[in-house]
Amino acid sequence: MAISRRGFLTLSGTASAAVALSACSAASRKIASDDLPESIHITGADAVIVRALNRAGYGPRPGDAAHAAGIGLAGWLEQQLQPNSIDDPAADLFVRNLNFYQRDVTDLLAQDYTDQTRELEMATIGRAIYSKRQLAEAMVEFWSDHFNIYLGKKEHMVSLKIVDDRDVIRPHALGKFRDLLFASAHSPAMMLYLDNLVNFKGAPNENYARELMELHTLSVHGLYTQTDIQELARALTGWRVYLNGRLDGQFMFDADQHDFGAKTILGRMFPAGRGEEEVLKVLEILVTHPATAKFIATKLARRFVADDPPAPLVEDVAQIYLATGGDIQAMLKTIFLSQEFASAPPRLKRPYAYMISALRALHADVGLRGYRQLTDHWLHQMGQALYHWPPPDGYPDTSRKWAAGLLPRWNFGLALATDQIEGVRVPFERLMEAGGVSDAAGAVEFFGGLLFSRPLSGPERALFGAYVGGGKLTDGGVQQRLKEAIGLMIASPAFQWT
């Protein structure tokens, strides 16, 4: 049977991917597993710290709440805002040995797209579960929604999105919004997703120009006009991607397809004859505009504080944006140390955060088959499959948008707790040993504390205790009811709303 060069690369890449993923997964899982504290005491951390662990990250793993309580919210936040100073061996090893993630885009475009999709999803979930750099991971998710790219747009979109995740979103997630916007505007994935590859002089395509103003910077209320969109689309002609050769998949400015005519954008005159620098000037106008400051401040406050973000906090964060040139760390510090965050109402975890927080709370071990189950089945069932939101606005941010789809969440909680997810296991015996659990009542109290980051209330203790009943932990029936009770805890409002 004859085989093409691409076919050979695909087959050999797939084989080496399986070996590499298996090895790196086992090593990083061992490091993460060994990170379980020898002794776990449930004392109940400050509610604001617990809120920060759940919103500025994906919830505490055993021992995290005690660590955060020991250094205080400000100390924990300061650590998280400097992710490169955090020793993170499990997550670093996990990503370092991935087969596709480190490759250049030209090489990626010659590989199997299904395998790349699985690896991108696996890299995202694995980091969220195991990384100690939780705020950085939460911000990667935030900006991935803000600069949303849908993998289903084109077959080879995943190759470009891997590079976008690696070279655009992650390096700037806690940096300056200006740098993030400029990087996104040069992202081949963004150019392909929002149709700038078919934006030609004489026949401009307005898609990217519109979303650049409406979703990335000024917002729909940003006081721009349809004419501004049309003129910006003309400026963006020629911003394309190499489609073949040794630079395949890389950004390019195609002067032959650029409209060099005079333009007026947001009241600014752009004389004829200007090329690539024309767009750079527009980006500078957009990134420094007060409407952009308010829009970014509103989105950050909505994600981390409340569906209807408090106006005074939004104004404070917008002023920080303008004063610091869009410094993301400064804005986050303002939010998380604010009185508005300290008194914030509960928010319903989005499906992805819900899933990851349950895995983290129970110190779950996830194997290669487990990642496939989590992505292909559970995230699809719960409505937040990674990188699969078709519109450019990203997955919804408000609790009310997710409040109707609770049944798949309940099923996930029960499946996780009762060992029904292939490739995912909770180390119940190790957890109970670390918690000094000796009877059923103690086990109920302990797992409730792990999941809620506080002692159970009287009604909760009575409810879950009655469900598990008495008897010895060595009894199979007691063990099964305990696991089911843990599943009910995961499905409960106390875990889902934080």
Q: The pTM is what? A: 0.94
Q: How far is CA 347 from CA 59, 137, 276, in A?
A: 13, 19, 43
* CA–CA distance, 309 with 304 (Å, rounded to integer): 9
| DSSP label at residue 466 | H
The share of the chain scoring above pLDDT 90, in percent, equals 91
Q: What is the pLDDT of residue 26?
A: 83
What is the mean pLDDT of the segment spanning 123-132? 97
Contact 164, 86 (CB under 8 A): no
H-run or E-run covering 428: helix 428-434
What is the mean pLDDT of the segment spanning 62-90? 96
| Residue pLDDT, tens place only, 137-165 | 999 999 999 999 999 999 899 999 999 99
| Residue pLDDT, tens place only, 453-468 | 999 999 999 999 999 9
| Residue pLDDT, tens place only, 220-260 | 999 999 999 999 999 999 999 998 888 999 999 999 999 99
Domain definitions of the chain by residue range: 290-342, 351-496
Q: What is the pLDDT of residue 24?
A: 56
* CA–CA distance, 239 with 197 (Å, rounded to integer): 7
| Residue pLDDT, tens place only, 391-400 | 999 999 999 9
Dihedrals phi, psi of 320, to nearest 5 degrees:
-65, -40
Contact 14, 423 (CB under 8 A): no
Q: Which has more confidence, 43 or 193?
A: 193
Q: What is the pLDDT of residue 425?
A: 97
pLDDT at residue 12 is higher than 70: no
Mean pLDDT, the chain, rounded, equals 94
pLDDT at residue 28 is higher than 80: yes
